[in-house]
């Protein structure tokens, strides 16, 4: 496998993330215009409908933006730790914080033997990192550095804020589609026909119905793709901070290969963790879209940074089945 640089991986992940966000924004604009023109026959209505949906979604998102981290930490049963509780953990966080050039985050412990970790907070000055006791027990210092570097990269790259932007756009699409479909069900189409507007308006109205049904599903899939790109970016950024791809590579393999279930994780918080905490063999995993890239793919990208051959065969298959 050809050797890559973490700078090249970072650039590619940022570029892909931006393109996916622009795709969601274009989908919102298309849906808004189709609904506005299809129901009124006026082109200006599309912009008004789209702007209204975005403003409403932004207002609703402010609550989660300023209070979402506290809710997530409380729901996860996390407790803040001091240097007396976990000196090695805080030492690793401090050294990786210096490397990342960000303020020291609040550090929390989740009393669970399943190894995992996540970061939350709206910006580097209001960031928190939560680590399970299982992670501390099962990872060595080098592997712990890789995980902490990954989580601090989420903080430094403003991934929480980026995820909020994507959530606002996806939420706007879902909200706009739902309102339109409910309005259409209660006689909106007949009232639009009474106002006239010609054959083009009817075609656009039908297109609006199709978009209202399919756009939320497609937008959700794009949102998950954005999340996966940010995970790739955090992996590469962790290597930049630690200058060591081996630690994170081994940590990902250990976390993905561990069969213990993280009980406090749920569908609302699973995307925050470094590795999807909901395993394929769990009942609650059914019907879920993938919030994380395959661990084998992530490990192979890390191996490409030092020119190692990719994982294949039984090892790769075993990790893929558990991830």
Token couple for 230: 């940010």
CB 190: neighbour CB atoms within 10 A? 9
CA 75/CA 293 separation, integer angstroms: 25
From edge to edge, which strands make up the β-sheet containing 106-110? Answer: 78-80, 106-110, 127-132, 117-121
Token couple for 318: 């075993």
Q: Which of 151, 249, 260, 263 is catalytic?
A: 151
User: Using an 8 Å Cβ cutoff, are 131 and 119 in contact?
Assistant: no
Nearest CA to 91 among 128, 144, 139, 157? 144
Whether 263 is catalytic is no
Q: Which residues are catalytic?
A: 151
């Amino acid at each position: 496998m050809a050797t890559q640089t973490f700078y090249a991986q970072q650039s590619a992940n940022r570029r892909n993330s931006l393109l996916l966000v622009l795709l969601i924004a274009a989908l919102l604009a298309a849906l808004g215009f189709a609904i506005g023109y299809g129901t009124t026959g006026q082109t200006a209505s599309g912009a008004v409908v789209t702007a209204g949906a975005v403003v409403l979604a932004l207002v609703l998102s402010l609550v989660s933006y300023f209070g979402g981290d506290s809710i997530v930490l409380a729901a996860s049963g996390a407790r803040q730790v001091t240097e007396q509780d976990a000196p090695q953990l805080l030492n690793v966080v401090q050294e990786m914080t210096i490397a990342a050039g960000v303020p020291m985050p609040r550090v929390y412990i989740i009393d669970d033997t399943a190894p995992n970790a996540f970061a939350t907070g709206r910006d580097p000055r209001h960031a928190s990192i939560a680590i399970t006791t299982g992670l501390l027990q099962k990872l060595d210092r080098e592997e712990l550095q890789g995980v902490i570097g990954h989580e601090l990269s989420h903080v430094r790259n403003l991934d929480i804020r980026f995820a909020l932007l994507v959530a606002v756009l996806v939420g706007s699409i879902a909200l706009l589609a739902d309102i339109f479909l409910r309005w259409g069900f209660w006689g909106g189409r007949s009232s639009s026909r009474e106002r006239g507007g010609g054959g083009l308006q009817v075609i656009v109205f039908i297109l609006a119905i199709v978009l209202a049904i399919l756009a939320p599903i497609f937008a959700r899939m794009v949102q998950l793709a954005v999340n996966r790109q940010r995970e790739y970016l955090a992996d590469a950024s962790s290597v930049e901070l630690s200058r060591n791809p081996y630690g994170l590579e081994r940590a990902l393999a250990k976390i993905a290969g561990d069969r213990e279930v993280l009980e406090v994780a749920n569908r609302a918080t699973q995307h925050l963790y470094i590795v999807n905490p909901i395993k394929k063999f769990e009942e609650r995993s059914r019907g879920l879209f993938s919030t994380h890239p395959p661990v084998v793919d992530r490990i192979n990208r890390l191996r490409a940074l030092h020119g190692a051959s990719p994982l294949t065969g039984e090892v790769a298959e075993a990790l893929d089945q558990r991830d």
